[in-house]
Structure 1
Amino acid sequence: MIINHNMNAMNAHRMMSGNTNAAGKSMEKLSSGLRINRAGDDAAGLAISEKMRGQIRGLDQAGRNAQDGISMIQTAEGALNETHSILQRMREISVQASNDTNTADDRKAIGDELVQLKNEIDRISDTTAFNGKKLLNGDLSTALDAASTAKTGVAITGGTISDVDVSKAMAGKTYTLSYTSGTDTLTLTRSGDNAAQSITLTALADQKTISFDTLGVSFELTGTQATVDTLGGDLDTKTIVTAAGSSAASLLIGSNGTADETLSVDFKKMDSTTLGSGVGSYISDKISDNTAVDTKAKADALITVLDNAIKGVSEQRSSLGAAQNRLEHTIANLGTSSENLTAAESRVRDVDMAKEMMSFSKNNILSQAAQAMLAQANQQPQGVLQLLR
């Protein structure tokens, strides 16, 4: 018998330590509900589950993004609903003004109401906002899209300059086009700015381009020199308003931020300078004061413009409604995807409580047994004392 090294006690101690550690890990898993609490529990499983967690959180945030998008669309659509009502009222009283049973005072009173209603359309367009972002004044996005291009013919007394192409001009800005016969010079000036650009026509069927580089505005002017030569003096200027402004909001509806997971919602400018049939026939052109319907002809012309304005608002509301319906389906799909991915992540990372409880009970019993055996092993060296008597 030896007493310096009690091998039985050492073995019992080692087994007791192992069982105690195993029972401790089982307690940790049972208390956290997770099978993987640290990388050492399952390195590969941890990496897989963390990727899944990133996707799940991305899907959940995408759902919230879509909800915010619906809220923004509903804000704009609610404002356009009121714009629709105003336009319908404007059309109603314009039809009333078209009746020749009205006196001049009657038509003036109708004109006063039309001016106020037009101003209210402009106010709605300018103030409708979501989270501080204006939705209906064309300023939602810093970049203008292709919808902000207006093209029309501009008539000048005694001659014609056709195909004035306003590309990517700031919506709602005013440009003045003037011609001086003595120098055969056309000058384009933007209101509110000192800058102006001019060209000189020097040949038949000449074509020139005026560019405001800092504004990104390009005018292509075509005409015949022979026609210009017949003009006998300075001509009245014509005003061109680039009114068909539009801007877009991009909504991220996926978890990865790729282009195919982005929904672009177009918010057009919806004020009196954009509602109507085209340049020269907008509401703002027809209603400048209370003389807008002082004749039957003016009232009839305004009715046509209002019909086109109502059509334009209807198209914008339909577009917003379609986008909202898509977002609602997107939210449902995102919820399903998040649910399925959460279930997959749970199978990788969550603990089976029943199975782990079995393991804990086993290790706890073995740990107690090892303690008892360690006590017995510690008693064995005392038998040496009997040999020394």
Structure 2
Amino acid sequence: MGMSINTNLSALNTYRNLSSTQNDLSKSLEKLSTGLRINRAADDAAGLSISEGLKSQVGGLTVAARNSQDGISVVQTAEGGLTETHSILQRMRDLAVQAGNDSNNDASRKAISTEVGELQKELGRISSSTNFNGINLLDGSANGGTGKLAFQVGANGDKSSQIVVDLKGADVSAIAKALGSGDTAATGSSFAIDLSKLDGSKAATFVSTDANGTKTSVSTGQLKGADGKDVSTFTSVDDYAAALSRDDAFSAKFTVSVEKDANGAGTGIVVSARDGGKLLDADNATVAAAGIDAGKEGTSVTGGVKFDTAANAQAAIKLIDQQISAVSSARSSLGAVQNRFDHAINVTNVAKENLTAAGSRITDVDMAQEMVKYTRDNILSQAGTSMLAQANQSTQGVLSLLR
């Protein structure tokens, strides 16, 4: 090979290798300083796409866990109000039992009625004051009157990522109205039920008229069982009343209770308008199509408890027992939902941990391995710099020919 000075191939080759080493050294320094294997899309395009998807899931699960905690707080707030409602109802029942004894004179029964009246007012106050973040929980007005609150406990936009809390059964204002007396007595219409004719697949239309003459009309759809499946026949009046309560359209405007005979068997239902309106005979004729006996339809039923006689006190005991049973059922439902929230939080935290680990395996750098590469590249960089200096000196031998 001839001797030339315009083109130093050895220096060019050494410079190219040194530039490559310096580039690798720069990348190693970046990874070691950030702790990340992927700092830009060019580092691993596919890995970046996967890791960003995992990051979205982890972020969503973090918020979902907080949502579940909020759900527990809502349930605990509602259950706290129902706990005190239970205590009040138990006290009212004790007073009703006391009033059932004819050893009480008129003054004694009046004193009992006075205490019960104050307890009823407290029930009304509990229903209007129990709220979470401005949302009333125990007056039936939650979520536009549906009584259902949805909580996002998952990271996705599907139904399985939500838990719905149904507060329809926790309507303390309805309990207060049912136990009202005097001018505040709740009114409703009594409907006899013939289970052999009852058909839950046929619409039953209920109409009420308020004090201003405004009518409210609601037709039930296909009734559902406790498992959410369509149901047409019923084994008891209680089952039918529960199915009516599960109908969103009906429960938004009306409440239903069960009439029982002396043996505690359900014989009919009492339907009351949430706005205090009255149900009239002529307006409710269509309920017969669903198998409800029209013969007793529209019979006015005045709610409330009275203690002026032993017979009225006994009737009050039965009415209070119904409300205690309703509150017990509502508290049981809320307790079950709270346990569900606890499990949802556990599942969310486990999923978050596993997805975080998966993302770490993709994006995090192996510090030991990267340090080995950095050390190698650092040594190569120093050697390359030295060799470049030597290559630049290699052409100086031409000077001896020019002397």
Q: Same fold (TM over 0.5)?
A: yes
How far, CA to CA, are the matches of 2:29 and 2:302 in structure 1?
Answer: 76
Matched with 2:80 is: 78
Distance 1:81 1:361, change over 3 A: same
SS in 1 for 2:38: coil
CA distance in 2, matches of 1:26, 1:374: 22
> How does the TM-score come out when normalised to structure 2?
0.67
How many angstroms apart in 1 are the aligned matches of 2:161 and 2:151? 9
Aligned-pair CA distance for 1:273:
2.3
CA deviations over 1:318-364 (Å, ceiling 9, x no partner): 00000111111111111111111111111111111111111111111
**Other-structure match for 2:159:** 259
When you count helix as a share of all residues, which structure comes out higher?
2
Contact 1:273–1:284 (Cα < 8 Å) also in 2: no
Q: Which residue of 2 aligns with 1:147?
A: none
Aligned-partner residue type, residue 95 of structure 1: V
Structure (1 or 2) with the greater strand fraction:
1
- Count residues in correspondence: 282
SS in 2 for 1:313: helix
SS at match of 2:139: coil
1:348 to 359, 362, 371: 362
* Alignment equivalent of 1:312, drawn from 323, 326, 333: 326
Deviation for aligned residue 1:369: 0.5
C-alpha distance 274-8 of structure 1, shift in aligned 2 (>3 A): farther
Q: Structure 1 pair 126/99, CA: closer, same or farther in 2 (3 Å)? A: same
| Distance across 1 between alignment mates of 2:382 and 2:358 | 37
Q: Which residue of 2 aligns with 1:361?
A: 375
1:380 corresponds to which of 379, 388, 394: 394
TM-score, reference length from structure 1: 0.69
Q: CA–CA distance in 2 between the matches of 1:97 and 1:315?
A: 27
Query: In the alignment, is the contact (CA less than 8 A) between 2:178 and 2:304 conserved in 1?
Result: no
Gaps of 5+ in 2: 180-256, 259-269, 275-300
Letter in 2 for 1:261: S
Deviation at 1:307, TM superposition (A): 0.5
Matched letter for residue 78 of structure 1: G
Q: Distance in 1 between matches of 2:160 and 2:178?
A: 31
The amino acid that maps onto 1:270 is: V
Aligned amino acid, residue 386 of structure 2 = A
Identify the match of residue 370 of structure 1 among 378, 384, 392. Answer: 384
Say which SS state the counterpart of residue 393 (structure 2) adopts: helix
Instruction: State the Cα distance separating 1:284 from its structure 2 match.
Output: 9.0
**Aligned to 1:273, what secondary structure does the other structure show?**
helix
- Change in Cα spacing, 1:118 to 1:143, as seen in structure 2 (3 Å) is closer
Give the Cα separation in 2 of the matches to 1:10 and 1:74. Answer: 76
- Counterpart residue type for residue 22 of structure 2: T
- Note the 1:1-389 alignment, pairs <5 A: 1-142=3-144, 144=146, 247-268=147-168, 269-271=171-173, 272-273=176-177, 278-279=270-271, 285-287=303-305, 292-389=306-403
Return the alpha-carbon distance in structure 2 between the equivalents of residues 355 and 312 of structure 1.
Answer: 66
Describe the superposition over 1:123-171 as per-residue Cα deviations: whole angstroms up to 9, x where unpaired.
1111111111111111111253xxxxxxxxxxxxxxxxxxxxxxxxxxx
Question: Hey, what's the Cα distance between the residues in 1 that align with 2:7 and 2:358?
Answer: 52
Structure 1: give runs of 5+ residues left out of the alignment: 145-246
Residue 356 of structure 1 aligns to which amino acid in structure 2? E
Distance 2:302 2:21 in 1: 86
- Give CA-to-partner distance per residue, 1:219-274, whole Å, 9 cap, x none: xxxxxxxxxxxxxxxxxxxxxxxxxxxx1111122211201222111112222125
Structure 1: distance between partners of 2:178 and 2:383: 88
Matching residue of 2:254: none
CA–CA distance in structure 2, aligned partners of residues 141 and 303 of structure 1: 33
What SS does the corresponding residue of 1:249 show, helix, strand or coil?
strand
Identity of aligned residues (%): 51
The residue matched to 2:167 in structure 1 has which SS?
A: strand
Deviations 1:63-103 (A, max 9, x none): 21111111100010011001100111111111111111111
Root mean square deviation of aligned Cα: 1.9
- Judge conservation of contact 1:80–1:317 (CA < 8 Å) in 2: yes
Q: What amino acid maps onto 1:370 in structure 2?
A: G
* 2:32 aligned counterpart, secondary structure: helix
CA distance in 2, matches of 1:279, 1:125: 20
- Matched position secondary structure for 1:333: helix
User: What SS does the aligned partner of 2:149 have?
Assistant: strand
Quote how far apart the aligned CAs of 1:279 are.
4.6
